[in-house]
Amino acid sequence: MSREQSSLGSSIHYGPRTADNGVGAVLGTSTLEKIFVYDFDFSTFPTTDANDAVIPVIPAGAQIVSATLEVKEVFTAGTAIDVGVSQTNGTVIDANGLVAAASINPGFYVGAGALIGASVGANDAQVTVTDGVGTATAGKGSLHVKVLLPGSVT
């Protein structure tokens, strides 16, 4: 599987889609509210990359409304999952600011981190998922992050 990136920021995929898992997608619910969706496994946790137009970017000043992590298959060998945000250059804003120390067992985990209801700050950001403790060797999850874009927060 390969991916060709156009100058417009769109991608053309060739072959079975087994690459680019975990990079995320953006669903528009209105012009000012977006839901960032990530499906990932233990080897493709969402991360940052300022040079990859496929990875969704949360604009500077956007407010995080909610985050929900669904563990679909147990993350083995790890003991917790953290969900946070970092600047696109990799500088950590808050490594567990969305969901802190979520269980590795199947279920739904509602985010209650410090960034829920807060702004991502003065820089563009990207969602990150990390092994809170230990290193996962198997497991699958899905993440939904609802964001209010700048200009909608008063």
pLDDT-derived band at 124, boundaries 50, 70, 90: very high
Q: How far apart are CA 18 and CA 128, in angstroms?
A: 20
Q: Which amino acid appears at position 147 of this protein?
A: V
Q: What is the value of pTM for the model shown?
A: 0.80
Q: Of the ranges 20-34, 114-128, 140-154, which is most confident? A: 114-128
Over residues 3-31, the pLDDT tens digits come to 455 554 555 555 554 444 455 667 666 67
Q: How far apart are CA 58 and CA 6, in angstroms?
A: 21
List the domains of the chain with CATH numbers: 22-148 (2.60.120)
Q: What is the pLDDT of residue 27?
A: 67
